[in-house]
């Protein structure tokens, strides 16, 4: 029997929630981002018509779209909508893996007899999301999670695309190298230097060659992906599990306050995912890439699992300050590793009452926003490390 994975990705999620809550913003260019010196977290499709993109400096977005509606990030509200929506999706499958605030994999294997053709189920899911939550989403269907994720991106927004079994390679060959999730600008440049312009070109290289050029894990990744195979990044059963998020900036970011604001958002996303997946871990890491494409990372293992978003964020700031020389950044990421199921960690206060877990995450986020929100008073405190 074939596996059937569906990847659901909400379209322009933060901006769509804002338009949902404020009907007067519908049909208008809405840009969600933190502060004048920050970057765009999300923008509506109306804003994209002006050339606005996520990860672009807010100042640049203001130039491109001076009449745009600029709004602050309301993570707590997005998580509230996300939680209700994910709960709803369980009607379609008992096996759901949420991978971010607006994305999830649904295992639809073996549901055809009960629910009818998979495409029809997918269309029903899309309709339900629209009718119940007023949100548009794109879905991709494939035999593997990785291809399902690529497929949901394929017809965005409001898309529905299925990669049929046996059609994987043909599908991959319709994509650009940069469409392959995880292949960034730098990798594309390196590949072009090797004369590789398409996934088909990539297949001309042997496994060892790619490992030699890009290192063992990236080389292996490229080798598998070019063949339409799942590189296993969403398998969730690897020995050393980790959850991380990263943002690549449209143009370099140097302002420490803006960098911290982005870091806070990344921490929220990671912490939320960790908590909703009932995982905990003690390894904290940050990574960043400089203007010269140097990638640096730093990690620290705590004596016990990360129990609060505050602690996680503080630790990330500390690691960043220790490692970053203040030069312009292209990318920043944060994550928690060494993950294991929460059940093994009863001492964790935050998760002691499972039914109340999400509410506690929300409360933690709200508390952190209150303390570190982008205002001048807090900014002064962030610049100086806090006294013990
Ligand atoms: Mg999305």
Q: Give 333-367 as a DSSP string.
A: EEEEEEEEEGGG-TT-GGGSSGGGHHHHHHHHHHH
pLDDT over 80 (residue 1): no
137 and 191 belong to one structural domain: no
What is the 12 CA–ligand 1 centroid distance (Å)? 6
247 CA → ligand 1 middle, Å: 14
Separation of alpha carbons 118 and 157, rounded Å = 20
Specify the pairing of strand 241-253 against strand 279-280: unpaired
Tell me, yes or no, whether 232 lies in a domain: no
CA dihedral (250, 254, 256, 257) in degrees, to 10, reads -40
Do residue 117 and residue 260 come from a single domain? no
Look at residue 371 in the predicted model and tell me its pLDDT: 60
Q: Which domain-ending residue is among 119, 145, 165?
A: 165
Mean pLDDT in residue range 246-260 = 87
* In contact, 244 and 333? CB cutoff 8 Å: yes
Residue 385 has pLDDT above 70, yes or no: no
CATH number of the domain to which 369 belongs:
3.30.1490.100
For residue 97, is it within any domain? yes
Instruction: Report whether pLDDT(320) > 90.
Output: yes
- Nearest-5° angle of CA 347, CA 352, CA 354? 145
Residue 28 or 367, more confident: 28
Rounded CA gap, 352 and 339, in Å? 17
CATH of residue 6:
3.30.70.270
- Ligand 1 center to residue 137 CA distance, Å? 8
Cα 102 to averaged position of ligand 1 atoms, centre (Å):
5
% pLDDT > 90, the chain: 49
- Alpha carbon of 130 to ligand 1 centroid (Å): 14
The strand pairing partners of 43, in sequence order, are: 31
Residues 128 and 193 in one domain: no
Residues 207 and 260 in one domain: no
Judgement on whether residues 2 and 121 belong to the same structural domain of the protein: yes
Residue 55 near residue 250 (C-beta atoms within 8 A): yes
User: What separation in Å is there between the alpha carbon of 14 and the centre of ligand 1?
Assistant: 9
Same domain, 138 and 58: yes
> Would you place residue 46 in the very low, low, confident or very high pLDDT band (cuts 50, 70, 90)?
very high
CA distance 190 to 213: 9
Q: Is 246 an active-site residue?
A: no
Residues 208, 118 share a domain: no
Residue 162: name the closest of 152, 175, 173, 172 by CA: 152
Residue 336 falls inside a structural domain? yes
Is 231 within the bounds of a domain? Answer: no
pLDDT > 50? residue 388 = no
Q: Give the pLDDT confidence score for residue 4 in this predicted structure.
A: 95
Task: Give me the catalytic one of 46, 103, 168, 315.
Answer: 103
Residues contacting 119, CB < 8 A, separation 6+: 141, 160, 162
* One domain, residues 37 and 141: yes
Predicted confidence (pLDDT) at residue 306 exceeds the cutoff of 90:
no
The answer to pTM > 0.85 is: no
Residue finishing a domain among 165, 184, 217: 165
13 CA → ligand 1 middle, Å: 6
Domain membership of residue 171 (yes or no) is: no
Interval between CA 39 and ligand 1 midpoint (Å): 17
What is the domain extent for residue 197? 176-226
Q: Is residue 258 part of a domain?
A: yes
**Segment 140-198, tens digit of pLDDT:** 999 999 999 999 999 999 999 999 999 999 999 999 999 998 787 788 988 999 999 99
If asked whether residues 186 and 300 sit together in one domain, one would say no
Cβ pair 96, 125 in contact under 8 A: no
Q: Domain count for the chain, please give it.
A: 3
* 36 and 13 inside one domain: yes
Kindly state whether residues 27 and 84 are assigned to the same domain.
Answer: yes
* Token pair for 194: 């090797």
Answer yes or no: is 360 within a domain.
yes
**Tokens 């933690």 belong to residue:** 364
* Residue 236 maps to a domain: no
Q: How far is the CA of 153 from the centre of ligand 1 (A)?
A: 9
Same domain (yes/no): 151, 183: no
């Amino acid at each position: 029997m074939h596996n059937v994975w569906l990847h659901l990705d909400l379209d322009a999620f933060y901006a769509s929630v804002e338009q949902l809550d404020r009907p007067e913003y519908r049909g208008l260019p809405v840009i969600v981002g933190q502060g004048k010196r920050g970057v765009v977290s999300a923008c509506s499709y109306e804003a994209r018509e002006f050339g606005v993109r996520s990860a672009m400096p807010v100042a640049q977005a203001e130039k491109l779209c001076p009449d745009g509606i600029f709004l602050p990030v309301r993570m707590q509200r997005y998580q509230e909508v996300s939680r209700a929506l994910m709960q709803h999706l369980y009607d379609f499958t008992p096996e759901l893996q949420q991978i971010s605030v607006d994305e999830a994999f649904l295992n639809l294997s073996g549901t055809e007899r009960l629910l009818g053709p998979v495409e029809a189920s997918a269309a029903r899911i899309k309709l339900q999301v629209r009718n119940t939550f007023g949100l548009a989403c794109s879905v991709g269907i494939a035999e593997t999670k990785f291809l399902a994720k690529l497929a949901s991106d394929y017809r965005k927004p409001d898309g529905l695309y299925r990669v049929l079994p046996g059609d994987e390679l043909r599908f991959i060959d319709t994509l650009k190298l940069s469409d392959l999730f995880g292949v960034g600008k730098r990798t594309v440049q390196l590949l072009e230097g090797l004369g590789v312009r398409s996934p088909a070109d990539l297949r001309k290289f042997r496994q060892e060659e790619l490992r030699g050029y890009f290192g063992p894990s990236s080389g292996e990744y490229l080798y598998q992906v070019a063949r339409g195979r799942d590189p296993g990044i969403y398998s969730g059963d690897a020995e050393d599990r980790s959850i991380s998020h990263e943002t690549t900036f449209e143009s370099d970011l140097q302002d420490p306050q803006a960098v911290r604001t982005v870091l806070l958002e990344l921490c929220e996303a990671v912490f939320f995912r960790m908590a909703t997946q009932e995982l905990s871990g003690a390894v904290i890491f940050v990574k960043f890439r400089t203007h010269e494409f140097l990638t640096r990372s730093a990690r620290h293992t705590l004596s016990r699992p990360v129990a609060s978003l505050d602690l996680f964020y503080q630790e990330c700031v500390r690691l960043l300050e220790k490692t970053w020389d203040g030069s312009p950044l292209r990318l920043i990421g944060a994550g928690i590793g060494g993950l294991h199921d929460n059940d093994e960690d009863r001492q964790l206060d935050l998760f002691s009452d499972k039914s109340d877990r999400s509410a506690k995450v929300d409360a933690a986020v709200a508390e952190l926003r209150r303390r570190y929100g982008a205002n001048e008073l807090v900014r002064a405190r962030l610049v100086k490390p806090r006294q013990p």
